Structure 1
Amino acid sequence: MLAPEPSFVMYRSLAEMNGLAYVGVDLDPTTLTLDVAAMCAAIATHNPALVFLASPNNPTGTLFDETQLRQVIEAAPGVVVLDEAYAAFAGVSHWRWVHDYPQLLVMQTLSKLGFAGLRIGYITGAPEWLAELEKVRLPYNVGVLPQIATRLMLEDRATLAGQIADLCVERERLTALLRTWPGVQVWDSATNFLLVRLPVDAVAVHAHMRTAGVLVKCVARQHPLLERCLRLTVSTPAENARCLAALAAGISAVSS
């Protein structure tokens, strides 16, 4: 299995738990987007049976360039899984690409839209691959109540679309605001979170924020490219204000 890194930690974890060799390929250290040359070189060297690509990516929030995605898909000798868990916040999906690439599977989920407890997701791909996945699917299907809840949610797409639009506006406001903070770096995000690099130790700031009752994700130790980084989920204006206040207090406390 091969995937760019840093990305969703479960790719590596699941490979290791199932006894599969895993190859991680670093993203571009400046933009945190795909390093296509490195990805294609690693694919040529390791000949992976499975390639995972998360776009938008977690925890960087970056949306990978379509041309670069196609280059990686076309270079891969085996199955490519495009994980689009955060696609709703990017306003773009590539599920139609399965008609161009028979080895491509595209995954999406409702978990990032406020329905994590339903455990509802789906895969789009060639019928032949879906038939193979059906052979190894766990015997317990999606429950009746989650199915009903999902149907009701999909019947009110206008409300859901409005919530997503509001969140994206708030995301851009927070990005612009944080970029005015001295020493703070924020990457462009196509998700419902922001990756923020602090001018001080992120682990210490994370602990300070936790003590203040504000929980964010510290990814500083996940990968060298994430040094001094926190992942901040975008929420309501009131909750975002509380998060920023705790973040500012944490930076101040660690700096002093």
Structure 2
Amino acid sequence: MLKPFLGCISTRTPIGTVTSRTGPIMAGSGFFEAVISGKGGHAAIPQHTIDPIVSASNVIVSLQHLVSREADPLDSQVVTVGKFQGGGAFNVIPDSVTIGGTFRAFSKESLIQLKQRIKEVIIGQATVQRCSAIVDFSVEKKLFFPVTINSEHLHEHFQSVAGDMLGVRNVKDMQPLMGSEDFSFFTEVVPGYYYFLGMQNDARGKLESSHSPNFTINEDALPYGSALQASLAARAFSSFKWHTLIAYEAMKSCINTGFNTMNLLLLSLPVNLFKWPIL
């Protein structure tokens, strides 16, 4: 059976260390955008307008209540509005405002509930303010990402292989993250495994987040990732008595591509992937 492994670099984890967990490790996510329409006019005579900026502001505040007042505190969820566009002059109330954001959770049921309530809240709050709203969940055809779930069986395999290679003390458990990962499309179909590879070296100073424009790479981490991926593949294949061939091919792939590129892609029976973060 296809068994994918994916390693992602971590700027907060010391080099030579890996972190992971069994079960949900990365949240599922979706995106939304809403156009809230009113009636524009001069800022000096707001009584002649229907202000979509005030309406959108109420919408954003109300969306925050979906997590704080409707979600189970033990069921981690996030609703964030990161886009607010409307108006172009200091003294003009615009005809419409566009807002957009993301919602995240660790179960399909919670994601479905959030999607439904986001639409209801946006349309309902806009109506209260005499505005209308159109909500779109397929913003520029962005995909809904499933929850990334690590197989319990593969977790044991990973801990064994990583422990032998890096030492048990350098294989650590971690808390799940609200970030999303396209690797989840693999784990939704077949058992898979996702982990983080450390590249922080205090001697070289603090590394910025991988989502920062100041992000830099510590290439000293690449040999660790390449060797671990090769070992994960070779050990998995050993049960099929193909380990000699696979270990050779995997290591050759690491040597040819792993040390010289940002993306290490190692495909074998358990599909092994090591890459830099996307989302």
Pairwise TM-score range, normalised by the shorter structure: under 0.3
Higher relative strand content: 2
Higher relative helix content: 1
Which structure exhibits the higher relative contact order, with contacts defined as CA atoms closer than 8 Å and separated by 6 or more residues? 2
> TM-score, length-normalised on structure 2?
0.22
> TM-score, length-normalised on structure 1?
0.23
